[in-house]
């Protein structure tokens, strides 16, 4: 059984007598069908989200490194202008 924690807390908090026994009874009632099921994402959605997070992290790190280099060079009196991003060559496809 997967239940949203906020929903469970709201249901249990609404009880008049807050005891362990009443909490157990409330949890059992939610298990009998009075609950809102949690939305689970499948593996492909999870992998896509992970890949997007990793790409975003790489972008942020690249910007941080670029800014550090600019700061270091500026302390020596050098100013770096606009720098383009490196584009990798497309992979060659072999004919079968």
Kindly report, residue by residue over 22-50, the tens digit of the pLDDT: 888 887 877 777 666 666 667 677 788 88
User: How far apart are alpha carbons 60 and 92 in whole angstroms?
Assistant: 29
Does 70 score more than 60 pLDDT? yes
- The answer, as to whether pTM is greater than 0.75, is no
Please calculate the CA angle 30-32-34 and round it to the nearest 5 degrees: 45
For residues 35 and 1, is the Cβ–Cβ distance under 8 A?
yes
Higher pLDDT, 10 or 91: 10
Q: Write down the pLDDT at residue 50.
A: 83
Domain residue ranges of the chain, discontinuous segments joined by +: 1-40, 42-78
Higher pLDDT, 91 or 75: 75
**At 73, phi and psi to the nearest 5?**
-65, -35
């Amino acid at each position: 059984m997967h239940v949203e924690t906020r929903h469970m807390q709201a249901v249990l908090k609404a009880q008049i007598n807050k005891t362990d026994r009443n909490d157990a009874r409330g949890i059992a009632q939610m298990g009998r069908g009075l609950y809102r099921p949690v939305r689970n994402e499948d593996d492909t959605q999870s992998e896509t989200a992970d890949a997007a997070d990793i790409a975003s992290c790489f972008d942020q790190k690249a910007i941080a490194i670029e800014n550090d280099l600019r700061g270091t060079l500026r302390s020596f009196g050098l100013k770096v202008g606009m720098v383009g991003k490196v584009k990798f060559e497309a992979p060659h496809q072999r004919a079968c």
